[in-house]
């Protein structure tokens, strides 16, 4: 069985950049070590390099553009994030949707640099489609639950079960994360029991007064 993966998406939160990014990354490293759970973070592009240099945890970009190096002002390439020390990238997050052609382009670009790939999806059908592209992970996040504090694993366990099944049918090597509203160890426990390989979460950790406290609870039932 794969070791569960927790990715903390720092988004563009004021509470997740600069020094705070370091505090969260430090907590991820410490609690990951204690618990044996892999805890990664996805910081702002500008924080990628310092976070990747200072902390022995997986660091993800929040997005990459599937373009080769060249005349692409304002774009983020696989080469750039790899050089900055990232070990993977989110692709097609609900706040940064891509065309199908560009999802595939980003994936292909990431593979050239051995970057781990996590394609985000919004429902069962798009999860199956994403799995057909053979990323390392698909992360299913029902958009109506994102940022609500209502956990997908409690509110809609069916969508997780159906998504896990859809992924396994299309490409059984693809692993499944889930997200939206995950805030406690119990939420993660349920998510794992429903067949996922981990979770993608954000505000519950990033906006916490003490991120380490939340992370410690999150891994408590794994």
**Using the rule CB under 8 A, is 157 a contact of a second copy?**
no
Catalytic residue, chosen from 141, 144, 161, 186, is: 141
Q: Number of residues interacting with a second copy: please give it, by CB under 8 A.
A: 66
Residue 162, helix vs strand vs coil? helix
**Using the rule CB under 8 A, is 173 a contact of a second copy?**
no
Which pair of structure tokens corresponds to residue 157?
């366990």
Provide the 8-state DSSP code for 68.
-
Binding-site member from 26, 29, 45, 150 for a second copy (CB under 8 A): 45
E strand or H helix at 134: none
**Using the rule CB under 8 A, is 22 a contact of a second copy?**
no
Least spacing, CB of residue 163 vs a second copy, in Å = 12
Cα pseudo-dihedral 120, 209, 27, 13, rounded to 10: 40
Residue 138, helix vs strand vs coil? strand
**Using the rule CB under 8 A, is 111 a contact of a second copy?**
no
Cα 78 to Cα 113: distance, rounded to the nearest angstrom: 7
Provide the 8-state DSSP code for 98.
-
Active site residue 93: yes
**Using the rule CB under 8 A, is 84 a contact of a second copy?**
yes
Binding-site member from 36, 69, 149, 158 for a second copy (CB under 8 A): 69
Other CB atoms within 10 A of residue 172 CB:
9
Task: Choose between 77 and 196: whose C-beta lies nearer to a second copy.
Answer: 77
Residue with tokens 């910081």: 43
Cα 27 to Cα 49: distance, rounded to the nearest angstrom: 18
Binding-site member from 4, 93, 113, 190 for a second copy (CB under 8 A): 93
Region near a second copy per CB under 8 A, out of 13-21, 31-39, 150-158, 180-188: 13-21
Residue with tokens 């939160």: 13
CA distances 20 to 10, 27, 62, 84, Å, are 10, 11, 17, 19
Active site residue 141: yes
Binding-site member from 100, 114, 149, 173 for a second copy (CB under 8 A): 100
Active-site annotation, residues? 93, 141
Question: What residues make contact with a second copy under the rule CB under 8 A?
Answer: 9, 11-14, 17-18, 42, 44-50, 62-63, 67, 69-77, 79-81, 83-84, 90, 92-104, 107-108, 121-123, 125-126, 128-134, 146-147, 166, 170, 202-203
């Amino acid at each position: 069985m794969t070791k569960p993966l927790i990715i903390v998406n720092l988004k563009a939160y004021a509470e997740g950049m600069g020094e705070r990014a370091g505090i969260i990354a430090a907590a991820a490293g410490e609690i990951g070590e204690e618990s044996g759970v892999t805890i990664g973070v996805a910081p702002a592009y500008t924080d990628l390099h310092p976070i990747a240099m200072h902390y022995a945890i997986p660091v993800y970009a929040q997005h990459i553009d599937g373009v080769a190096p060249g005349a692409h002002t304002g774009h983020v390439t696989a080469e750039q994030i790899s050089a900055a020390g990232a070990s993977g990238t989110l692709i097609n997050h609900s706040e940064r949707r891509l065309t199908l052609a560009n999802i595939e382009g980003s994936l292909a670009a990431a593979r050239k640099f051995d970057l781990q790939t996590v394609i985000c999806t919004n429902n069962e059908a798009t999860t199956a489609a994403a799995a057909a592209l053979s990323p390392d992970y698909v992360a299913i996040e029902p958009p109506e639950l994102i940022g609500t504090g209502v956990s997908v694993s409690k509110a809609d366990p069916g969508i997780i079960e159906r998504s896990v099944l859809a992924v396994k049918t299309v490409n059984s090597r693809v692993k499944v994360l889930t997200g939206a509203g995950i805030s406690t160890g119990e939420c993660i426990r349920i998510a794992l029991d429903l067949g996922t390989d981990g979770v993608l979460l954000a505000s519950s950790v990033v906006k916490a007064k003490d991120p380490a406290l939340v992370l410690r609870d999150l891994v408590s039932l794994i």
